[in-house]
Amino acid sequence: MKRTTVAVALLLVVGLGLGASGLFAGAGDEAPPPTVDEPAPTPVDEASLIAVAGDYRLWPYTSRRTAVEGRTLAINVLVYADAETTRRAIERRSGTDWETTTAAEAAATADREAVEALVERDWADAHSSDRYSYVEGPSGGVWLEETFELHDGTYLGVRDHLRAYESPDGAYTAVQAHEEYYDWFRLRHTVPGIDEPAVRLEDEFIHGAVDAEVSREYRGIEGGWSDGWVSVIELTAAGAAAGALLRRRTQAAAVELARRARREASRHAGAALLGAALAAIVVGVRVAGVAAETALPGVGPKLIAAPLYLLMAVGMPALVVARAPRSDPSAALLGVVAGVGAGFVIDFVALGVAVPPALLVHRAALLAALGTVAMGRAAADRPVLAAGLAAWAAGLALPLADVI
């Protein structure tokens, strides 16, 4: 009776967790996916356009399609330069032809070598889903495709992702900067926020751009994760070839979790080893994905992700079914929940990102599902085992169906 009660409680956690995750539909994404049947596109509201420079006003958002209904994230960086100049400034390539407008040119030239010697971020071309922005000028409105995309980080890990849109007259480049990490249980990127990536981009110019003027302007932008403020960068001299701030992501919390896990392992060695193995799968998939992506730049990230996802989706419950009989039900439950939970935490800590509430609830539901599998297998209780496997399958299926 006690075991049945625990199983029922765990399955309630799964059901409530998956249901609550659905309430946060779109959380962590750029926007909820479009529905099948949608009304005709709504024209861009004149009141939502902002003046930047030149003849073209900007709709300060990106969109999944050429319509305001597909709105995703807000534009959060404006660079007063054309796209080529903007890209070279961000990448800090040599030979950039800046127009010098200040008297500091001599000092900037003298300091160039020292500036370029600073550690730089590894910006590279990025390829992702198409997003559009909109501008309106003397001849009417036009939807813009990305002029270029850059990222710093890894597709299967965590990265800062920039989408840039050049105004038709080249007077400015609008940039949408956001942080994203690859969520292995959703098989797509999750966006924890847009403010910190914009600040990091600011810092590159503040600390390394000799003659780049950096400021913030309140533009009253609503929605798209915006707080209303936009970073404004004006490039004026060759000194804009900047050094960057190192991304410092500490692993201290992960080390402490590993130490605690070792201390508890002596009590129930079999259950502890099972939990450790499951944690290793969660963390190992991330490490293997990032390593493979780095070592095989010519291979698409999704081709790398596919077999690794199967390792988690099928391998984790298979390992529990294979090893749980060697532990008592309570120890198996605790070992699986502690191990997989630690794997989740280590993964998120290593990424250094803020986790949307919906995904925390979803991970709790997955923990409960796999814990139910462990308890049912260890107790040779087939109904409980079957219920746990069904809950695990549902927990994986809902994100793939865009419900979570």
Question: What pLDDT, on a 0 to 100 scale, did the predictor assign at position 208?
Answer: 62
Q: Which tens digits make up the pLDDT trace of 138-178? A: 989 999 999 999 999 999 999 999 999 999 999 999 999 99
Whole-angstrom CA distances from 265 to 77, 278, 334, 335, 338 are: 49, 14, 11, 9, 11
Q: What is the pLDDT of residues 85-101, one digit of tens each?
A: 899 888 874 333 434 33
Per-residue pLDDT of 26-59, as tens digits, reads 456 665 455 445 556 778 988 999 999 999 999 9
Output the pLDDT for position 114: 38
402: left (phi over 0), alpha (psi -120 to 50) or beta: left
The two tokens of residue 365 are 């539901």
What's the pLDDT score for residue 107?
45
**pTM score over 0.85:** no
pLDDT at 258: 65
Report CA-CA distances (Å) from 20 to 23, 209, 214, 245, 365. Answer: 5, 46, 42, 38, 10
Count CA atoms within 13 Å of residue 283 on its CB side.
Answer: 22
pLDDT of residue 400: 86
User: pLDDT at position 325, please?
Assistant: 76
Q: What is the rounded radius of gyration, in angstroms, for the C-alpha atoms of the chain?
A: 25
pLDDT at 370: 92
Q: What per-residue confidence (pLDDT) applies to 211?
A: 62
Report the pLDDT value the prediction gives residue 332, as an integer from 0 to 100. 85
Terminal C-alpha separation, the chain: 33
**Residues of the chain predicted below pLDDT 70:** 1-40, 93-120, 208-211, 237-268, 326-327
CB 72 within 8 Å of CB 131 = yes
- Cα 142 to Cα 44, 173, 189: the distances in Å are 10, 15, 28
- What pLDDT is stored for residue 254 in this prediction? 58
* CA–CA–CA angle 311, 190, 73 (5° rounding): 155
Cα dihedral sign, 183-186-191-197 = positive
